[in-house]
Structure 1
Amino acid sequence: MKKMVGILVIGLLVSTQLKAQAQEITWYSFEEVIDKVETTPKMILIDVYTDWCGWCKKMDKETFTDKEVIAYVNENFYAVKLNAEDSKKKFEFRGREYSEEDMARAMRVQSYPNFVIMDAAMENITQLPGYREAKPFVSSLVALLENFKQ
C-alpha cells in the first residue's frame, strides 16, 4: 500500500512539473496566422527579432517565460516570431511573396526587439519597440487592447 501511495505521489509530482515546463507562449509562423485569423479572428503580436540581438534574447529568456505574459499573450493574441534578417523563409501575403526580412522592412521595423501589433484584419495598428520587462509588457498590451476596443 505504501508503495502505491509513493508511486502515485511521484507520478503527480512528475506530471505537475511537466505541465509547468510546457507552459509557454504558442508561437506561430506568419503563414499559420494568415489561416487562423480567417476562421478565428484575434489580434496578432509579432515579435520582430534578429539572431544577434541581446535584448531579444533577454525578452525570450525573461519576459516570454513569465506566467502572466504567457497567459495574457496566449489568450488575447496569435503570437508570431519574425526574424528580420531571414531572407530564405518565404510566404505569401495579400498576393505578394515575402521573406521574413521583406515583411519586417514592409512593417518599417528599424530596431530590435520590436513588437508589431496587427488587428484581426491583419492591418498594422502600432509598434512597441524595445526590451520590456514582464509587468510593463503586459500593461502595455492591456492598454493597447482597451484603447483598440473603444
Structure 2
Amino acid sequence: MKKLVIIGLILIVSNFAQAQEKIEWLKFEEAVAATEANPKMLFVDVYTDWCGWCKKMDKETFTDPDVIKYINENFYAVKMNAEDDKRTFDFKGKKYSEAQMAATMRVQSYPNFVIIDPTLQNITQLPGYREPIPFLDGLGQIVHNGFGAK
C-alpha cells in the first residue's frame, strides 16, 4: 500500500512539473491518502448531475489558469457527486457513499466547495457559483486566515 501511495505521489508531482492545464481531480480516498503522506488541505467540489451552476463552474471557473494553478498548488482536489449512492470508500473506519459523505459534511446546496484541513478534522464551506476572481478571493481568505495551518 505504501508503494502505491508513493508511486501516486510521484505521478502527481510529475504532473505539477508540467504545464498546469487542468485541475488534478482525485477520488476522496486518494486525496486522504495523499494528505497523510504529504499534508495539504482537501478541496472537495460537491456537485450534482442536474446542477446548471455546477456545470458553469466546470466550464468557466475551473478552466481559468489562475484557479487551476491555485488549487493544484494548495489543495488535493476532489469531485464528489452528492447523489451517488453506488461508489463507496472507507474513511476513518466507516464506509461511505459519495452521497453519504456529502450529507455528513452538511452540504445542502450546489455547487458547494468543502475545504478540509490537513489533519482531516476541520471543515469549512464555500457555497455557490463564483467567477474566477471572487472564487480565488474566497479560497484565499480561507487559506490565509489560518484554516488548515499546521
Shift of 1:77: 0.5
By percentage of residues, which structure has more helix?
Answer: 1
Letter in 2 for 1:63: T
Name the TM-score, length of structure 2 as normaliser. Answer: 0.84
Show the 5 A alignment for 1:1-150: 23-148=21-146, 149=149
* Contact 1:116–1:124 (Cα < 8 Å) also in 2: no
In our comparison, the structure showing a higher alpha carbon Rg is: 1
Amino acid at match of 1:122: L
Classify the secondary structure of the residue corresponding to 2:102.
Answer: helix
Q: Which runs of 5+ in 1 are unaligned?
A: 1-18
CA distance in 2, matches of 1:119, 1:59: 23
Aligned-pair CA distance for 1:121: 1.0
CA drift of 1:142 comes to 1.0
Q: TM-score, normalising length from structure 1? A: 0.84
Q: CA deviation at 1:125?
A: 2.5
Q: CA–CA distance in 1 between the matches of 2:76 and 2:115?
A: 10
Moved over 6 A (4+): none
Q: Offset of 1:123 from its aligned partner?
A: 2.2
